[in-house]
Amino acid sequence: MVDLAHETRIDILRQAAQLLAAENERLHRRLLELTRALAEAKGETASQLEFEITRLAEQLAARNHQLFGDKSEKRKRSAGKPARAEQPGHGPRAQSELPIVEQVHELDAADQICNACGGGLEAWEGQFEEAEEIDIVERTFRVVRHRRQKYRCRCGGCVETALGPEKLIAGGRYSLDFAIAVAVEKYFNHMPLARQVRDMQRHGLVVDTQTLWDQLWALSRLLEPSYLALSHHVRQAPVIGADETTWRLMESKGAKKWWAWAICRENAVYYELHATRSGAAAAAILDDYGGTVIADGYEVYQSLRKQRLAVNASSYRLAACWAHARRRFVAAEPNYPQATAVLDRIGWLYELDSRARGGPAADLAALRRSAGRLIVDGIEAELKALRGSVLPRSSLGTAIAYTLELWPELTRFLDDPAIPLDNNGTERALRGVALGRKNHYGSRSERGISVAAIFYSLIESAKLCGVEPAAYLRAVALRSIRDPKRPVVLLPHQFRDETAAA
């Protein structure tokens, strides 16, 4: 049945949006008229006036695109490039991981009669028409009553009791698998605890958020040694990516806006959450790292490097991200067709790297030194030629300035095949954090922040290794429960290798 009230609300909202867009457009035109009049009153030259009006129009268009436009970084395909072939329908997919349940369907007794002669039908041995369907088994909860058998000796001097299940919380009512399911729902599927409580009630289990939080806290204590070891594993890589995104601390007397800092390598990502985006936070997560850090143009990474070098401390090399530079030219392209040539050249860099992807590092190094160097020199020449012909504060002007300022870091990849062209791997690793922030708005306490860092680090690293997060968390927790006297460390890539060898 159609919800007419819902459709009416949508129509009202659509009309309101159209009215706001029309009013916005009118104000934009009026702003341009006033800017032109003010410039003429000041006696500015025609070229200065046109530059300023172009800049304003460009900013307004960019703002409209930010509010109402597509967020994709994909560009329209150049006329000279062949379009990709249309993808066929997806069709049925093999489901090798699912169990197969066979169900035989038989004719009712009344239908087992031949339409031709009226005789009885007999089952044709081994002959079936077969078809498959994907079915769902509803999530269920159950109370398992563990009865631990007692044993005694006739002498009366000895009584023994059978061992029970391995428990996350001694004497606790909830199983280890229950706690892992809560963690995976929150930090992998991004479902807040309150929403999990409602879902559990739908399936017959009455529980509250505090109980679920107690499970997460107990589980995080078992995982903490692996989390700390993960930071050391990431910092051992010769090249790591670094990035940060916002996080919220809801019940705080101080700063509510925290930052999730991430460092990433090919098979692991490590997060720390800090109250600031300052150099102190960057120094904490990078620690004494001495390899190559690839990052965006955030000045903290450069400042920290210079500080360490100034006191003769070991420091890291810095490489910049071509994806960040490219985004600025993508934003400028609608207003400045000159950006297209730069974007095409950056595209050539990615095509060059894709040729050697998966092959020996020596092949990639040779390609970068030869063809890569020519492409980079062409980009630099293009930027310097354009720099004098555009307004410095325009989107194209700022894109050029950003790229040339980071030129030594942007070209560092030419001499080291281990350095990727961009930091997209770290950005992808932060998507889980961003989705969690959107769904459960952050953490309620600093203790919640520390738990979030542990679970996000281990779960996102398991995803990078192609490991089922629940199976990995269970393996770490079980080993810790069975050997409580020493910290147990098992990283996702180690669990993957163990599982493959078994």
For residue 273, being part of any structural domain is answered with no
For residue 10, being part of any structural domain is answered with no
Rounded to the nearest 5°, which phi and psi values hold at 270? -125, 130
User: Which pLDDT does position 98 carry in this prediction?
Assistant: 87
Rounded to the nearest 5°, which phi and psi values hold at 316? -110, 160
User: Which pLDDT does position 47 carry in this prediction?
Assistant: 55
Full residue range of the structural domain in which residue 372 is found: 324-422
User: Which pLDDT does position 5 carry in this prediction?
Assistant: 59
For residue 418, being part of any structural domain is answered with yes
Tokens of 434: 């961003």
How many of the other CB atoms lie within 10 Å of CB of 15? Answer: 10
Give residues with Cβ within 8 angstroms of 239, minimum separation 6.
265, 291, 292, 293, 294, 319, 416, 418, 419, 420
User: Which pLDDT does position 92 carry in this prediction?
Assistant: 78
User: Which pLDDT does position 65 carry in this prediction?
Assistant: 60
User: Which pLDDT does position 2 carry in this prediction?
Assistant: 44
Distance CA 84, CA 91 (A): 20
For residue 381, being part of any structural domain is answered with yes
Question: Burial level of 4, CB count in 10 A (0-12/13-18/19+)?
Answer: exposed
Relative to beta strand 292-295, strand 317-320 is: parallel
To which H or E segment does residue 374 belong?
helix 373-387
Q: What is the pTM of this model?
A: 0.82
Distance CA 420, CA 283 (A): 23
Give residues with Cβ within 8 angstroms of 124, minimum separation 6.
none
Distance CA 446, CA 252 (A): 8
For residue 389, being part of any structural domain is answered with yes
Give residues with Cβ within 8 angstroms of 482, minimum separation 6.
166
Give residues with Cβ within 8 angstroms of 295, minimum separation 6.
241, 242, 243, 301, 318, 319, 320, 321, 423
For residue 307, being part of any structural domain is answered with no
Each residue's pLDDT expressed in tens, for the chain with a length of 502 residues: 445 555 666 777 777 777 776 766 676 666 667 666 766 676 655 555 556 666 666 666 666 665 555 656 666 655 455 555 555 556 778 888 888 999 888 989 888 898 888 888 898 888 888 888 888 888 889 999 999 899 898 888 899 999 889 999 988 999 999 999 999 999 999 999 999 999 999 999 999 999 999 999 999 999 999 999 999 999 999 999 999 999 999 877 776 899 999 999 999 999 999 999 999 999 999 998 999 999 998 999 999 999 998 887 778 999 999 999 999 999 999 989 999 999 999 999 999 988 888 788 888 899 999 999 999 999 999 999 999 888 888 899 999 999 999 999 999 999 999 999 999 999 999 999 999 999 988 898 999 999 999 999 999 999 999 999 999 999 999 999 999 888 999 999 999 999 999 7
Count of the separate structural domains present in the chain: 1
For residue 98, being part of any structural domain is answered with no
Give residues with Cβ within 8 angstroms of 493, minimum separation 6.
267, 268, 461, 465
CA-to-CA separations, 497 to 396, 490, 492, in angstroms, rounded: 48, 11, 9
For residue 271, being part of any structural domain is answered with no
Among 427, 493, 434, 482, which Cα is nearest to 458's?
493
To which H or E segment does residue 304 belong?
helix 299-310
Give residues with Cβ within 8 angstroms of 432, minimum separation 6.
187, 188, 190, 456, 459, 460, 463
User: Which pLDDT does position 59 carry in this prediction?
Assistant: 63
Angle of helix 176-187 versus helix 193-202 axis, rounded to 10: 120
